Amino acid sequence: MADIIQLLPDHVANQIAAGEVVQRPASVVKELLENAIDAEATTIKLIVKDAGKTLIQVIDNGKGMSATDARLSFERHATSKIRSADDLFQLHTKGFRGEALASIAAIAHVELKTKQEADDVGNAILIEGSNVVSQDVVVTPKGTSIAVKNLFFNIPARRNFLKSNAVELRHIIDEFHRVALAHPSISFSMFNNGSETFNLPASNYRQRIVNIFGSKTNEKLVPVEETTEVLKISGFACKPEFAKKTRGEQYFFVNDRFIKSGYLNHAVASAFEGLLKSGMHPSYFLYLQVDPKTIDINIHPTKTEIKFDDEHTLYALLRSAVKHSLGQFNIAPVLDFERDPNLDTPYNYTKKEMATPPAIEVDRNFNPFKEHKASGRQTTAFKSQTPNNWDSLYVGLESKENELKHDFSEVHFESEEITPSIFQDDTQVEQVNTTFQFQNKYIVSTIKSGMVVIDQYRAHQRILYEDFLKSMTIKEGVSQQLLFPLELNFTTKEVEIIEQLKDDLQHAGFMFANISEESIAINGLPVNVPEADVSNILDYLISDIENEVPESNFSTTDLLAKSMAKSLAIKRGRTLQKDEQDYIVNSLFACKEPSVSPNNKATFITMDVDELDKKFI
């Protein structure tokens, strides 16, 4: 029998490796930015076109490479970071496997220009699908410029799996944020389709966070500092009142490398225990410094997961450090119930010396029992005087009493202010069937063949979803004007998402007075949308856009209607009045698709009389 095992050609092996390293354009951005950091660059520029599908270019002012190094950098397992297996446990750099550039060059057109400071001229290499097309001498500034064009040009199936430009751009911005947050001492800039998206000068950790997420972030941050023999913790946690429904602003950095760790995230969440509402997640930016010997980075292709030697110790230290910071800045309550926190010395003034106390002057000759002059006549303290004509004080009281009776007969009382309801007030529901609420979750109603049990949350979602979808489809959403514009603060990335959805939001009934880089002003809301719920609605919407990742052929209108319905629908556990129960029952069965919620989950179940009879056999 003939041999069937054979070695793969290099270009095929590179394409297979690219499947692990390069999953989307954001993967290329991450690898190129990390290479620029390893080259000791102080200024890094990222240029993106068509969400990285057409061009991804990174320009740095690092050390550069010689002609030989430039050529070897595109070979598999060629790296300057390690020499032996022992070096894997002493890593202080980003890349070390030597597969990134080789994998990228296998599936794209790559143009590299590099020059060392001591050289007069640089080198340029052009590679297409692992094939070196040319290598020439060029005039170029110190550092390296690498351009990746036409990503996945030779693997059309992988290119077809890419999402829309808006989604891929969000992933690129996420990777850009992670690298920029880990290295505040490096100046970063990003350009998308010719326009500048970010310009981050060299700064400290706090200023870098503010430059990325907006100036309003500064007031949210609480410093976290702790130094032990095992671990050094620095960074910031956000105050509990600024917690979000999403996990977007949660960043862990270990030895200046972004990681994901559900275990360490649980440590931070437990430090916030009792301070957050149900379903809310804290935001944090925590930098951990550990001995490289105690971690293993090479357990995941993207190097975003790390194995720690002693996770339990790290968990306890991290939880204690965050909890200590929250208590130190009077954010978490203390156990001294008799202490008045308003009398505490502010944290910044604990080590300052007390100023000279003000002098107190006392009039020792003052006697309250002595006679004193007041209003030009002598009076005596505690002396009661009775007027001589005391009976004249009661003259005319009877006539005034009659007048008061006459006046009060015409008093009109103001009616109580009616709180806006999420139900349509003008809908009159005819009571046909008997309904009652069960466990504050379900509505039970009788039908001819038995009974129907309705999930009140899913049913109301379906009702609101079809109402919003109808108003947005015909583009005639009814809006109610606000007396004062409602101003909400968001990050730059979140404002971009809202701008993309502005037209659909206006069709739903939202009216925008102004949209700036870090905030929006709303002067009109859809009917039956309470003003207090607007922030939650937009938070849900941004979360759905980021997590559900709609493709280019996905209806944004449909997603918006689903998100608004999910935000405004009555939650399980709320007691409903009789007319509210009847409204949900009648409105649900007036929908086009009453049997399922917008997320294709059952809204009700029916039980026939025969099924009930069988239970008693």
Does the structure show a pLDDT above 50 at 375? Answer: no
Does the structure show a pLDDT above 60 at 408? Answer: no
Beta bridge partner(s), residue 47: 57, 191
pLDDT band of residue 558 (cuts 50, 70, 90) is confident
Distance CA 464, CA 529 (A): 11
Residues 6+ apart with CB under 8 A from 153: 107, 108, 109, 129, 159
Does the structure show a pLDDT above 60 at 424? Answer: no
Give the pairing type, strands 221-223 and 232-238.
antiparallel
- For 496-540, give the secondary structure using H, E and C: HHHHHCHHHHHHHCCEEEEECCCEEEEEEEECCCCHHHHHHHHHH
Judge contact between 481 and 446, C-beta under 8 A.
no
Write phi, then psi, for 138 (nearest 5 degrees). Answer: -135, 165
Q: Which one-letter amino acid corresponds to residue 394?
A: Y
From residue 402, give the alpha-carbon distance in Å to each of 159, 405, 406, 409.
Answer: 91, 5, 6, 11
Among 141, 115, 113, 116, which residue's Cα sits nearest to residue 127? 113
pLDDT band of residue 462 (cuts 50, 70, 90) is very high
pLDDT tens figures, 70-90: 888 888 766 666 555 555 556
> What pLDDT score does 332 carry?
62
> What pLDDT score does 251 carry?
92
Q: Average the pLDDT over 561-587 and give the result.
A: 86
Residue % of the chain over a pLDDT of 70: 77
Q: Residue 109, Cβ neighbours under 10 Å: how many?
A: 18
Distance CA 324, CA 225 (A): 9
Distance CA 133, CA 419 (A): 72
From residue 280, give the alpha-carbon distance in Å to each of 274, 283, 319, 325, 332.
Answer: 11, 10, 18, 20, 16
- What is the third-level CATH fold of 435-606? Ribosomal Protein S8; Chain: A, domain 1 (3.30.1370)
Architecture of domain 207-328: 2-Layer Sandwich (3.30)
pLDDT band of residue 140 (cuts 50, 70, 90) is very high
pLDDT band of residue 554 (cuts 50, 70, 90) is low
pLDDT tens figures, 305-350: 777 888 888 999 999 999 988 887 766 655 555 666 566 666 556 6
Give the pairing type, strands 284-289 and 250-254.
parallel
Judge contact between 478 and 506, C-beta under 8 A.
no
pLDDT tens figures, 44-78: 999 999 999 999 999 999 999 988 888 888 887 66
Beta bridge partner(s), residue 342: none
| Mean pLDDT, the chain, integer | 80
Domains 207-328 and 435-606 share a fold: no
Q: Where are the domains of the chain?
A: 10-202, 207-328, 435-606
- What is the third-level CATH fold of 10-202? Heat Shock Protein 90 (3.30.565)
